[in-house]
Amino acid sequence: MTLNITIDLSTLRRAKWHQFVLRFIFGGIICVLAGVIAEKYGPAVGGLFLAFPAIFPASATLLENEQKEKKQRVGLSGSTRGRRVAGVDAAGAAMGCIGMIVFAAIVWRLLPKQSVPTVLIGATAAWFGVSVLVWQLRRMWVHSHK
Amino acid sequence: MLTQLLLRFLIGGLVVCVFAAISDIFKPKSFAGLFGAAPSVALATLCLTISSQGKVYAAVETRSMIAGAAAFFIYASCAAWLMMKRHLSSLAVTVSLIPLWLGVSLGLWYLLLR
């Protein structure tokens, strides 16, 4: 089975600037919040917020609206389609969370002993590798049960 | 202190935008969704934390991040189910489930990591 992953750079040209402004603000706020909480309640509580779904609501809403607009251009409502696509995106995020758990575990165990760039680059590569593996395994499972 | 917070805001916003842009260019959407759970906030925050508080402090944070990520998994799975099967609005679903993330992450931290 092939991966069937495509890259479409034209989506960046079509993207509206306010989408990135919104993500920038949410991303910035959650990073500040994680630091403030760690300062006030300690790193053990603050660390939880490193995995806070900060930009997830904004991204899902933007995706739903984008799909809805596409369908409305051809005279359809597009609400159901938009929500389904946002749901598929959320399912992908759930698989990415398994990679995120691996990322956190690697940094936790190796950071005190190894160099910072090595640990962060290695953990990010592990996040990506594990996420893609889980995504591919789920895809194979779905195909075999069709 | 204010400079540190401003730096966190700028780096955090920038890293999150980079991962969001990467997510936008990939198809299918289930694959692009993986980037919705990219460790973007962690990467932005950890570099600053290590420089100001040290490696051990940052390692303690990432230990708790495991509980946060497990809670994110439950949050995203519930959101996916509600949007795909019940066709509920993504804004309503993703915002109303935030307390679920908070409850699960604090619960896991209290039971397993405290």
CB count, 10 Å around CB of A80? 15
* B51-64 pLDDT per residue, tens: 999 999 999 999 99
Candidates A31, A131, A71; CA nearest to B36 is: A131
Q: Give the pLDDT confidence score for residue A14 in this predicted structure.
A: 79
Residues of chain B positioned with their CB less than 8 A from the CB of A94: 37, 73, 76-77, 80
pLDDT value at residue A120? 97
Q: How many residues does chain B have?
A: 114
Q: Could you tell me if residue A5 is left (phi over 0), alpha (psi between -120 and 50 degrees) or otherwise beta?
A: beta
Nearest-CA distance from A75 to chain B in Å?
20
Higher confidence at residue B103 or residue A23? Answer: B103
Least confident piece of the model among A78-82, B42-46, B82-86, B106-110:
A78-82
How do the pLDDT tens digits run along chain A, 146 residues long?
A: 566 789 988 888 877 788 889 889 989 999 999 899 999 999 999 999 999 997 788 888 888 888 888 888 887 777 788 899 999 999 999 999 999 999 999 999 999 999 999 999 999 999 999 999 999 999 999 888 87
pLDDT of residue B89: 93
B14 vs A contacts (CB less than 8 Å):
24, 27
* CB < 8 Å to B111, chain A: none
Quickly state the pLDDT bin for B50 (edges 50, 70, 90): very high
In chain A, the residue whose alpha carbon lies closest to the alpha carbon of B52 is A35
State the smallest CA–CA distance between residue B88 and chain A in angstroms: 7
Nearest to A6 by CA among B28, B22, B34: B28
pLDDT of residue A13: 81
**Smallest Cα distance from B100 to chain A, Å:** 11
With CA atoms as reference, the chain B residue closest to A5 would be B27
Which tops the pLDDT comparison, A12 or B15? B15
Q: Which of B11, B30, B55 sits opposite A91 (nearest CB)?
A: B30
Cβ contact (<8 Å) for A92 and B36? yes
**Residue A8, token pair as written in the block:** 């479409």
* Positive or negative torsion for Cα A138, A98, B80, A67: negative
Q: How confident is the model at residue B97 (pLDDT cuts 50, 70, 90)?
A: very high
Are B9 and A98 an interchain contact pair (Cβ–Cβ within 8 Å)?
Answer: no
Q: Which chain B residue is nearest to residue A87, measuring alpha carbons? A: B80
Q: What global pTM score does this model have? A: 0.93
Percent composition of chain A: helix, strand, coil (DSSP 3-state, to 5):
80, 0, 20
Average pLDDT rounded to a whole number, residues B88-113? 95
Residue type at position A10: S
